[in-house]
Amino acid sequence: MSHQSDLIASDILAYLKQHENKDLLRFITCGNVDDGKSTLIGRLLHDSKLIFEDHLAAIKKDSQKYNTTDDEFDLALLVDGLQAEREQGITIDVAYRYFSTDKRKFIIADCPGHEQYTRNMATGASTCDLAVILIDARYGVQTQTRRHSYIVSLLGIRHVLVAVNKMDLVDFSEARFNEIKAAYLEFAGALDIPDIRFVPISALKGDNVVNASAQTPWYDGGTLMALLESVKVDRDAQLNAFRLPVQYVNRPNLDFRGFCGTIAAGQIAPGDDVVALPSGKRSKVKAIVTFEGEQATAFASQAITLTLDDEIDISRGDLIVRAGDPQPSVAQAFDAHVVWMNESPLTVGKEYVIKLAGKSVFGRVSRIAHRVDVNTMAQTEAGQLGLNEIALVTVEVNAPVVFDPYAACRGTGSFIVIDRLTNATAGAGMITAAANRADGHSDDLDELARFRAFEVELNALVRKYFPHWGALEIPRGPR
């Protein structure tokens, strides 16, 4: 192993603690088919000495069986585990690999390059902080390069490493590398990717992957592994306000009622005032409960259970936010970019299930504002969306939902579209803003304010006509 430590032999608990505290980077490899994505991951693991001997022996045996390369063994077989993948020499499903170096832990999502599997690529990219986009040095920027880069931009990935692969087939030409670099930067100028870096590599031969290559003396930007170990992603959080989508209400006995979920943004501590949305009910955090016991504070990405001082109504799909923080939108319509993933086209007006931050509601696409041509970034009119097409649409749902713009918070700004008949995931969306409904009613409403007004009026009627019930007056205005 590349990060063997003396602590393993002398103090295994200290070693595990050291390993536990390492920074974690999730990244995706994507690009055109045959650009060498699976081979690159195999090379990363092999040159980092992270493949066990028996596994390597099995790969060598399969390499002879499938004859996928003229070399001693095909490193792509390390991640292409499906029979069909090995027979065709392509990646079909998203494959995840986990490894670590002495500086960082990694989770890799190896995604298919064929256009047919763009939906798999979007799924793999949805949880990543960085994308490695491979380009075959012989062919340069291709359609899938543009498509994947655009999806990476839509999904809010702010760091891209462009690995110009198969440099050995162009004699490690600096001129060819610079030509591809210029072409990519020209295309990427229209995308929202602030950090783009380039590295010339040969995944097959191992040049500039883990070890620096003697074939590229003109390149001094660091190997791919060095860049993966050093890129800073912890500063990318866009929203500091607290967001807890409620995934489960835990009530094991009469004395305990907790609200479970993974914190999407911000932090929380006992004693903080919180608001449950969309109801608008307020309470105070009593305790933060985890498997390890009660915590003094909790941060984004932690899975926790909150107990509150009051027995207010909170259900699965509600959102708990901290009072005083910037509030999310509560509305029944929003604009969003949608990547369509189903063989059946997206039809305007057809009813789907919209699942957003744990909440499922019926809804429909009421308007396609424009479809995006990923090759030219041109926006065109469309009546429906086909498989792998991308568009800006307006979505209407049958009940109020709570959300933030995707650019501010992934956890509360993304959703999936589910076909009601097949129960298949038909599309993935990234919310841009609240929208006006097709009937002209504004939903930037403040749906919460309407609920509050209704509650106040109902309370007044109850006190007027049923005074013997003893209902207490509730205050007007924000609570």
Residues flagged as binding site for GTP: 31-38, 110-114, 165-168
Which segments are annotated as binding site? 31-38, 110-114, 165-168
CB–CB of 75/43 below 8 Å? yes
